[in-house]
Structure 1
Amino acid sequence: MAKTSDLEFAQYVGPILRQVRKSRGKTLEAVAKETNIALGYLSRAERGQHALSMEKLSRLAEYYQVPLSHLIPKNDKYETKTLDLQKELWSAKQLIYDGETIQLTLEVVEQLEMAIRMGIAWAQKTQAKGKGS
């Protein structure tokens, strides 16, 4: 059985997945076949009953041709932890990480935001598993 945090995440992501799929005029069957994700698994995910892995969310984002960040929940629970960093990223021209200077183009900032959101979701999931043990 899924833990509460997994279900909360699923309940946020599910409606987004359904909306994107319907906006593309796709059936669940077509998406399942074309992404190689089991139909029942995808159906439960859209109903908010099962949290998809980041790998499967990435596969769906690529299939729908949307940034992964479009499929990850955008609410206070998931974003408040990155808000200050987000402001800094958008206002900076470059970033120095591990001794390397990186120019912060729009594409780089969007990729960094996606990675941060994925990291936060993973950390919350891992933290919740630790508390439930």
Structure 2
Amino acid sequence: MSTTNPTITVETARHVLSHFGRGGYPAGDWTESLITLIDRADMTNRAKLVTAFPEVGAAVLLAKYDEEGIATLQRIADAPKPQCPEALYDPGTGNLRRCTQNGPHDDHQAADGAQWRIDVDTTTEVPW
């Protein structure tokens, strides 16, 4: 992700749309606080926050200042959901990193590059 032209993920678009009351769904406490800070900050502090959190900053600025910003975020938010139902919980942000891979696979990967594997314990008997 570039800090000059960050990619806004489906999840971030949905969180920012929810913040502005235009659809989406609410973020976790930490992420919602970040969105609120960027939304309410003066120009100097907003610039610092956008530098530190380019994706969220770009989405908030798009919603606030771009004439087509809400429509753009809605198009991003309506992107097809991944076929894989697995997700990796990030306790630092309270967000779920959803697997973006389609079809059968054992190794999962999120849009931000995070990778994980869910090992199945085949030694445990399952009672019937």
Looking at CA atoms only, which structure, 1 or 2, has the larger radius of gyration?
2
* Higher fraction of strand: 2
Q: Same fold by TM-score, threshold 0.5 exceeded? A: no
TM-score after normalising by structure 2: 0.28
* Higher fraction of helix: 1
Which structure has more relative contact order (CA 8 Å, sep 6+)? It is: 1
TM-score after normalising by structure 1: 0.27
